[in-house]
Amino acid sequence: MSDGLPDGVERRPFDGRERLATRGSPVYGEPTDGDWRAWDASRSKLGAMLSRGLDTGLTGGEPVLYLGAAAGTTVSHVADFAGPTYAVEFAPRPTRDLLDAAAPRSNLFPLLKDAREPASYAHVVEPVDAIVQDVATRGQAEVALRNRRFLADDGRLLLAVKARSEDVVADPGDVFERVLEDLRSGYEVLATERLTPTHEDHLAVVATPRTE
Amino acid sequence: MDGTAPSGEGWFGGIDRDDEAAATAAIRDGTADAPDDWPSRAVESGFAADENDYYEILHDATMAATRAAVQEHGRSDVQQLQRVVRAMDDCERVANELAERVAEWAATLFGDAGTGVDYCLGLAERDPDPEQRRVVELARRVRDLDDEATALRRSIERTAPEVAPNLAALAGPVLAARLVSLAGGLETLARKPSGTVQVLGAEEALFAHLRGHAPSPKHGVIYTHEAVRNTHPEDRGSAARALAGKLAIAARADHYTGERRPELDEQLRERVATIRARRDDADEGAEGGADR
Ligand SMILES: C[S@@+](CC[C@H](N)C(=O)[O-])C[C@H]1O[C@@H](n2cnc3c(N)ncnc32)[C@H](O)[C@@H]1O
């Protein structure tokens, strides 16, 4: 593990520019170089967290639960470096594309489920070392709290909070404060960082389960 | 449901590893209060030989279950589209019928009476004398139906490209929705040979032909498509065949992959241009380029 990146994620030059990359079959038309494919940090909040050097605790090879997988842009990269990767998404349309991303990745398990109802996938998902959450809907803290049961005691929650999903008019700073406060009822917040300018209006949060 | 894991057990509880239907049902409908180390439990229980084996089965099972769930949602989108098309056709048909009634009636009351839905739209705005009131009210009902038909059409224009992106691009959203509706679904449309797509909606004419008292129909609802309508009558058969061929391919692309294939638009355009050019050449040969 160098420069805080998990094993299997490297900075490599693409067209003369250093970019994050993982090894796997391409998914969204990203540039490739041999087996490596560029991880577009402007299209991926987790990509942005890693490229900014946030300490995510990810090491590579660990089991991961991904909430809000959409078409699989980010979760495909996660499956490239992580172990068993469970991808939860509740909208049927992007899930079609998620299936294409998962087909060549034997460790990526797509699930058409609602992240607010963890009991509907707890019979499939094993305990994980990391939860990546990017659901961009109202109640983002609540989703993280309900899914805490999947996370190992020393595991990491890697959360992207979108302010406008909670409240369109309120000041983003206030919204983030409220979400963090809710989150603290079940998690210890280790680090936060605004993801401007690549992801305006988003706060990255690294947290770990609170143990009484 | 069969194969559904009881709460507290893994999805694989009580199912046979080769039973794909049971695995799909278990993934989709099962529940558990809390996660568990399912890979180890699956190996302990003898469901899988080892963890790698377990993950292989899990990959197949989650792919199959999720694909089935996505397709089911797709089918309900299609059903919705069918209902909207039928409702739009009903609104238009009833509006036209009522408009005829209004025209007949208005002719006895107004000097400047016209015909059709457009006439009713104008009449609906008038401030009627007492003896004109009923007919103006009737014209207003025509206007309401016409408004509703327009709203339904808008909704088709929004949803058809989502349900069938290639078909909607080639046929236009409304014709695409009609074809899906006549076939009874996108899946059944995707299975039809292009010859059947060509005559969809012309079933009555086709039966007459089979009974021996009518020529073979050259086109069904696709005759409303520009590629057929704006082609010389003698070449409409060829144009309809070419169009039906591309529409059949588009329906298959939509059902099996859902991916947009813009090259189909271009191919259709070229085929139709070729058919029309042949006619132009022939006309020039025969009539020295005289106007038709
Ligand atoms: C911003 S997008 C995620 C993009 C994705 N993480 C990526 O980087 O490739 C948010 C996704 O979360 C999904 N979502 C929202 N609420 C959800 C819920 N309760 N359960 C599952 N998915 C949800 C949405 O359908 C949408 O696809």
Length of chain A: 212
Q: What is the pLDDT of residue A57?
A: 97
Domain membership flag for residue A111 = yes
Q: What is the pLDDT of residue B213?
A: 66
Let me know if residue A85 belongs to a domain: yes
Domain carrying residue A166:
40-209
CB contact under 8 A, A110 and B34: no
Residue A7 lies in a domain: no
Which residues neighbour A7 within 8 Å (Cβ) at sequence distance 6 or greater?
A1, A59, A60, A61, A81
Q: Report phi then psi at A114, rounded to 5.
A: -95, 120
pLDDT digit string (tens) for B132-191? 999 999 999 999 999 999 999 999 999 999 889 999 999 999 999 999 988 988 889 999
The partner residue sitting opposite B35, judged by closest CB among A98, A111, A127, is: A127
A116 occurs within a structural domain: yes
Closest residue to atom 25 of ligand 1, CA basis = A91
Nearest to B254 by CA among B161, B178, B179: B161
Q: Which of A124, A128, A149, A150 to mutate to test the interface with B (most CBs of B within 10 A)?
A: A124
Asked whether residue A99 is assigned to any structural domain, the reply reads yes
**pLDDT band, very low/low/confident/very high, at B2 (cuts 50, 70, 90):** very low
Q: Which pLDDT value is given to residue B288?
A: 45
Tokens of B86: 């039928």
Q: What are phi and psi of A153, to 5 degrees?
A: -55, -35
Most confident of B190-194, B203-207, B278-282: B190-194
Which of A123, A114, A104, A116 has the alpha carbon at shortest distance from A37? A104
Q: What pLDDT does B168 receive?
A: 97
Question: How many structural domains is chain A composed of?
Answer: 1
Pairing label, strands A10-14, A17-23: antiparallel
A116 lines ligand 1 (CB under 6 A): yes
Q: Please provide the average confidence, as pLDDT, over all residues in chain B.
A: 88
Domain assignment present for A29: no
pLDDT per residue as tens digits for the range A97-118 = 999 999 999 999 999 999 999 9
CA of A87 to the centre of ligand 1 (A): 10
- Give one DSSP letter per residue of B161-224, joined into a string: HHH-HHHHHHH-HHHHHHHHHHHTSHHHHHHS-HHHHHHTT-HHHHHHHHTTSSPPP--SGGGG
B210: β partners: none
pLDDT score at B218: 62
CA atoms within 13 A on the CB side of B119: 19
Q: Is the pLDDT of residue B27 over 70?
A: yes
Query: For the segment A111-163, what is each residue's pLDDT rounded down to a tens digit?
Result: 999 999 999 999 999 999 999 999 988 999 999 999 999 999 999 999 999 99
Compute, in angstroms, the gap from residue A89 CA to the centroid of ligand 1: 6
Q: What is the pLDDT of residue A8?
A: 98
Q: Among residues A181, A185, A140, A192, which one has the least CA distance to residue A161?
A: A140
Per-residue buried b or exposed e for B177-189, using 16+ beta carbons within 10 Å of the residue's own CB: bbbbbbbebbbeb
* Strand order, beta sheet including A10-14: A10-14, A17-23, A36-38, A32-33
Q: Is A169 part of any domain?
A: yes
Q: Is A88 in the pocket of ligand 1 (CB under 6 A)?
A: yes
In a domain, A143, yes or no: yes
Nearest ligand 1 atom to the CA of A88 is 21
With contacts defined as CB-CB under 8 Å, which chain B residues touch A106?
55-56, 59
Q: What is the CATH number for A68?
A: 3.40.50.150
